[in-house]
Amino acid sequence: MNKVNVKKAEGKLGVLVVGLGAVTTTFMTGVLMARKGLAKPVGSMTQYDKIRVGKGADKKYLKYDEIVPMTKLEDIVFGAWDVYPENAYESAINCEVLKEKDINPVKDELEKIVPMKAAFDKNFAKRLEGSNVKDCKNRWDMMEQLREDIRNFKKANGVDRVVVLWSASTEVYVPVNKKVHYTLADLEAAMKADDKENIAPSMCYAYAALAEGAPFIMGAPNTTVDIPAMWEMAEKTKLPIAGKDFKTGQTLVKSGFAPIIGTRCLGLAGWFSTNILGNRDGLVLDEPANFRTKEVSKLSTLESILVPEEQPDLYTDYYHKVRINYYPPRNDNKEGWDNIDIFGWMGYPMQIKIDFLCRDSILAAPLCLDLVLLSDLAARAGRWGTQRFLSFFLKSPMHDYTKNEVPVNHLFQQYAILKNAIREMGGYEADQEID
């Protein structure tokens, strides 16, 4: 073992979530129920996964908290911002993801989680009609108000550390603008000039979090921290950032199934993916400008796993299409349907159909927990900037596109990177090959 200096997880960890909707209330309720011993945190890597450390006679399989100092569920304190004023209990009931019998045992704790006024601009989510919204002079003022919220939350709850997690709706697509998004100085100038086109509200949350010493995680496909200016801010503040977009249903299937086609050297003619969902996410994504943001993140997965240049006989000119359809009767129980046209020996065609009847928030909740706990760990381990080891949990992993870096989307390669990072932070050799 090598000596590493990871600070212990002492005191309370504040988890401030942007958005108090279906995903967030399912996440919060599950954590509160799990720490009472009334539910199991199924799907959470940090709570269940075991990693091999050492080789040969020294080989053993350990849980994450046996390798590195992890924050315990008992030490988490929740807070939130939302455009709707309902507390976490009311929101959990309204979202209808969990049954009332699975919410009521922690009703008292959930009722105390009352959302702070959100930093919100209707132009970025036209379908949302909320009254619990900050009155801001400009984008810089918006950011300063959020900083004050974080400071007040820390003080009121006696927390030692904070992590900020975006679990709100997808914003309209903000293309990367070199004049605004490439340097921190330009970004700050644009915020002060109230550039409402290039500065999304989510960027104010991210800047505020980093300025207040909190790692920031982007759980939607928004551009937010996926810009050089924010990388510079993360380096300046020596804090971790991660994103973007929770990898829950269809993309999880794609990042796990595409390697089967590639490993078996079968050809791909086309992959058509469609989703139906009826929750608030579906409503927001029904707006074309918001769907564009999601489409970019969903389309990027396949192209880095099945690469035409590497296997021109197998992957040249395949057709990849992604669709999301708002369908209210399904609410949070979305359906991801994939039609995959492949070809084999002598070019003969075959088909694969995958129908994933999933529950969006049930899949996203453990990702929220893992991303929060591992970002907090990374901060205590002195890691800053983009946390590529968290790509396992994310649909469109952040990467340095200014240097033509290609993101790793292959699920099993992502898993190897995750395990290596945990080993390294635990003082063990990062000994797993990523190939």
Nearest to 304 by CA among 390, 394, 407: 407
The region of weakest confidence among 144-148, 168-172, 417-421 is 168-172
Q: Where does 13-246+361-425 sit in CATH, by number? A: 3.40.50.720
Nearest to 245 by CA among 305, 325, 166: 166
Residue 313 — very low, low, confident or very high, per pLDDT cuts 50/70/90? very high
Q: Which residue has the tokens 């990374």?
A: 378
Q: Which residue has the tokens 């992959």?
A: 271
List pLDDT tens digits, range 21-50: 999 999 999 999 999 999 999 999 999 999
Q: Which residue has the tokens 């309209």?
A: 172
pTM for this entry = 0.94
Dihedral sign computed on CA atoms, order 29, 32, 34, 39: negative
Report whether pLDDT(435) > 90: no
Return d(Cα 251, Cα 211) in angstroms, integer: 32
Q: Where are the beta strands (DSSP E) in 316-383?
A: 319-326, 335-343, 349-357
List pLDDT tens digits, range 314-370: 999 999 999 888 889 988 888 999 999 999 999 999 999 999 999 999 999 999 999
Report whether pLDDT(279) > 70: yes
Structure tokens at 49: 């996964």
CA R_g for the chain: 21
At the fourth CATH level, which superfamily is domain 250-357? Dihydrodipicolinate Reductase; domain 2 (3.30.360.10)
Report whether pLDDT(299) > 70: no
Nearest to 70 by CA among 384, 378, 428, 414: 378
Boundaries of every domain in the chain: 13-246+361-425, 250-357
List pLDDT tens digits, range 174-193: 999 999 999 999 999 999 99
Mean pLDDT throughout 386-396? 96
